[in-house]
């Protein structure tokens, strides 16, 4: 299910000194619960006074997703700054979540959580794109804040992007690929906030 955590892989990739950390992460992996499925179009997501928030307790507000995603609840080890609902991948693939909104997208804020070891080994950033037609997507220029909130080897990374172009109602978030391991459980998507104002 999580192939990196065979004993041989742990010895090879982390070394014996870090086994305790790996064992701790294994406990964390065991907390993963419900699995997401690829949902059908649910109609445009509504802004409430110009603001939309998805806490990632489910993907019911998304128009569609690429399928191999799952949810995780809780934060017993203080790894996620108290964020108790998150979405993660099953495998190290560029999974996507797509939203359609009832008004134009102006600002997008994505809270995510990266495993520090993976950041040191090499991992790409989340991709956040907008579109007016749901087919042609344009990546947002992102401000990336990764200087705060390190919890038990997990680090919060916040992406903020803004577009002034009118007509962008589609938003696509793509999980980054880990470049040197096969973890599906990191990084995790914590929250999405979108403003139409």
Binding site for Ca ion (CB under 5 A): 55-56, 83, 85, 190-191
**Between β-strands 107-115 and 154-162, what pairing exists: parallel, antiparallel or unpaired?**
antiparallel
Query: Which of 24, 22, 32, 38 is closest to 1 using CA atoms?
Result: 32
d(CA 192, CA 159): 10
Buried/exposed 44-62: b ≥16 CB within 10 Å, e otherwise? ebebeeeebebbbeebebb
161 or 190, CB closer to Ca ion?
Answer: 190
CB of 52 to Ca ion, least distance (A): 14
CB of 132 to Ca ion, least distance (A): 28
112 or 183, CB closer to Ca ion?
Answer: 112
CB of 191 to Ca ion, least distance (A): 4
What are phi and psi for residue 22, nearest 5 degrees? -65, -40
43 or 82, CB closer to Ca ion?
Answer: 82
CB of 36 to Ca ion, least distance (A): 14
57 or 142, CB closer to Ca ion?
Answer: 57
């Amino acid at each position: 299910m999580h192939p990196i955590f065979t004993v041989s892989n742990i010895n090879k990739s982390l070394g014996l000194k870090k086994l305790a950390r790996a064992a701790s992460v294994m406990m964390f992996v065991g907390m993963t619960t419900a699995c997401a499925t690829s949902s059908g179009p649910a109609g445009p997501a509504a802004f409430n006074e110009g603001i939309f928030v998805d806490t990632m307790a489910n993907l019911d507000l998304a128009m569609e997703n690429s399928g191999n995603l799952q949810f995780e609840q809780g934060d017993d080890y203080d790894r996620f700054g108290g964020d108790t609902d998150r979405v993660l991948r099953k495998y190290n693939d560029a999974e996507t979540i797509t939203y359609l909104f009832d008004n134009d997208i102006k600002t997008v804020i994505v809270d995510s959580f990266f495993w520090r070891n993976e950041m040191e080994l090499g991992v790409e950033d989340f991709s956040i794109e907008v579109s007016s037609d749901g087919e042609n997507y344009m990546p947002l220029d992102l401000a990336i804040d990764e200087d705060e909130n390190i919890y038990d080897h997990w680090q919060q990374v916040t992406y903020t992007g803004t577009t002034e172009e009118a007509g962008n109602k589609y938003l696509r978030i793509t999980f980054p690929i880990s470049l040197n391991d096969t973890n599906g459980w990191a990084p995790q998507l914590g929250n999405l906030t979108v403003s139409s104002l």
